[in-house]
Structure 1
Amino acid sequence: MELEQMISRVDELLPPQPAVRLTISNGECTVFDSKLGGTPYFPKDMEYPRGKKNKFEGQPLLLLAQLNFEQIPNIPDFPTKGILQFFIAADDLYGMSPDYGEEMAHQHNFRVIYHENIITDTSLLLSEDEIPAPEVDDMYMPFTGEFKLTAGEPEKMQANIFDFRFGDAFVKAYNEFADEPVEELWDIDDSITDPLYDKADDFPNAVIGGYPIFTQDDPRCVEDVADCDVLLFELDSYYNTEIGIDIMWGDSGTGSFMIPRDRLKALDFSRVLYNYDCC
């Protein structure tokens, strides 16, 4: 039985999605650049994002990442201009909701902000000294400092075994080739499923589009958030002593932001599913 034939069949059921890998590096960044951390692009006449729950209620959120789509090759349905930002609370869940389902899409202690038209006059933007800082003890972030994000060329990314739809798709593909059909992915011999996990290990450190990776369960297995089908942005733990990068979500985890396709097309970022998990 050929595993590649089954994967090709899965590709028909769960088509590979366009994606752009983002290389993380050291380097000087401006407020306009695609980057992790640092001083965000933020107009003075806008209300700065603040937390709404727990110890971060009323406290300013911190910039996790910002994406300047004028620096990123376009992929279908994503913006072609403007700056998209991800702010999170520096609490022990990195701003993620402790509750499952739709609550994970309520932006209480995280915020996704889109600036469609970029102001180039820096006098109209908050300076580094003007960015408000939280006044809380025991702050947690996946990294400290600022890192540059450089976009690669668009590519197609296959679905992986961590996607909540993959199990059903692979079982269907397997049964088309197997002599004895199975009902669940876990009924298939490890010699076939283990390579699926190995294949999933080869994923980007940072990416927009494609399919997300989860250390534990896909939160979209809950029906009320199953429509969050587009990976808006994902940042994995990444450690590189040679270039001084140390990004760690808990115990080697990943942070993912997902959005319904219709909302992405409408540039409506008011409902985004945010998940952080780790080993």
Structure 2
Amino acid sequence: MEMGSFLADLPPEFAPLRVFLQDRFVPYIQLHLEDKGWLKKTEYQDPLPLWSSKMGGYPYLPKSLEYPRDAETGELMMFLLQINCAEVPEIPNFPLPRQGLLQFFVGLNVAMCELSPQRHCIRYIEEIDLDETRLISNFEFTQESRQRNEWYNHIYSLRFRPGEALFFNYRQSMGHLRLPESLQTLCDEFFFDDWLYDYEIENDGLERGHPYKLAGYPDLHSYVPDVLDDAQGQLLLEVQDPFSCSDYFYFFVNPDDLKRQDFSQVESYFMRV
């Protein structure tokens, strides 16, 4: 959503809010998914190159690296997605690496809706080797875990686009955006929350940001305040399972760690609705 459009659409009674809100839009990066089909169960084929930005399918895996396992159980972890960092536009206060691959694996048993003790593995590969002879291309060794834990088999390519949003409801609910008392009184008197709810419906919910994103704030729905109440740092990634739309994943990173390109202390949260 464009900041100017939202501010222009504010009814006259909310005019005093414009000055307060215009400096509080937050930049973020939208992830746009394009359906590329399913993994073929017999041939174990992924339609996308191993180094592409994707959700689902098979990861980029040099033969010099082990496929991630939960350190406590030894179980293989589900490949969720990977981001080719060179394809991601730059936005303020979000120093994502400018090259390499950022990969997200989760220890999710889909059928049981349970995360493994380690919960996730995030791997940053600084240099991408395009020589396929040095990459693992046969992922048949993952099939037993894939079938037993019902890992996602659908595949989506990822594209990236900068955006901005207020994330008003989430920031208000979590105490990240506090209105001056006079403006809060104004909002209560003229039912700003009701107007905003109707506005979101008419504009596809874009006040709260795209549902697949890097940076910004999470979408506020269902049990999000309870699930993310203890989350520390800034939002790194929010995605949901685009096929069933019931599984949500959230990753938070300390801003200083992000500057150092250190993803070892990322916090992850999972929610099924």
TM bracket (short chain) = 0.7 to 0.9
Deviations 1:46-75 (A, max 9, x none): 23211245xxx1111111010001222223
The answer to whether the 8 A contact 2:108-2:116 is kept is no
Partner secondary structure for residue 193 of structure 1: helix
CA distance in 2, matches of 1:156, 1:96: 34
Query: Which of 192, 216, 221 is residue 210 of structure 1 equivalent to?
Result: 216
The answer to whether the 8 A contact 1:16-1:210 is kept is no
Q: Give 1:17's aligned amino acid.
A: V
Q: Give 2:131's aligned amino acid.
A: D
TM-score (norm. length: structure 2): 0.74
Identity of aligned residues (%): 23
1:48 aligns with 2:59: no
Query: Which of 228, 245, 249 is residue 246 of structure 2 equivalent to?
Result: 249
Indicate the residue corresponding to 1:162 in structure 2: 170
Alpha-carbon shift at residue 214 of structure 1 (Å): 4.0
Alpha-carbon shift at residue 35 of structure 1 (Å): 0.5
Distance 1:4 1:42, change over 3 A: farther
Query: Which of 24, 30, 34 is residue 21 of structure 1 equivalent to?
Result: 30
Indicate the residue corresponding to 1:242 in structure 2: none
CA distance in 1, matches of 2:127, 2:153: 28
Query: Which of 242, 257, 261 is residue 267 of structure 1 equivalent to?
Result: 261
Which structure exhibits the higher relative contact order, with contacts defined as CA atoms closer than 8 Å and separated by 6 or more residues? 1
The answer to whether the 8 A contact 1:32-1:41 is kept is yes
CA distance in 2, matches of 1:166, 1:5: 23
Indicate the residue corresponding to 1:146 in structure 2: 155
Distance 1:110 1:168, change over 3 A: closer
The answer to whether the 8 A contact 1:40-1:63 is kept is yes
The answer to whether the 8 A contact 1:68-1:82 is kept is yes
Q: Which moved more, 1:61-70 or 1:122-131?
A: 122-131
Q: Which moved more, 1:29-38 or 1:71-80?
A: 71-80
CA distance in 2, matches of 1:137, 1:130: 11
CA distance in 2, matches of 1:115, 1:79: 10
The answer to whether the 8 A contact 2:84-2:102 is kept is yes
Indicate the residue corresponding to 1:128 in structure 2: 138
Indicate the residue corresponding to 2:205 in structure 1: 201
Alpha-carbon shift at residue 93 of structure 1 (Å): 3.8
Unaligned runs of 5+ in 1: 98-107, 239-245
Partner secondary structure for residue 6 of structure 1: helix
1:63 aligns with 2:53: no
TM-score (norm. length: structure 1): 0.73
The answer to whether the 8 A contact 1:66-1:86 is kept is yes
Distance 1:214 1:274, change over 3 A: farther
CA distance in 1, matches of 2:160, 2:30: 6
Distance 1:29 1:94, change over 3 A: farther
The answer to whether the 8 A contact 1:18-1:157 is kept is yes
Unaligned runs of 5+ in 2: 1-11, 37-46
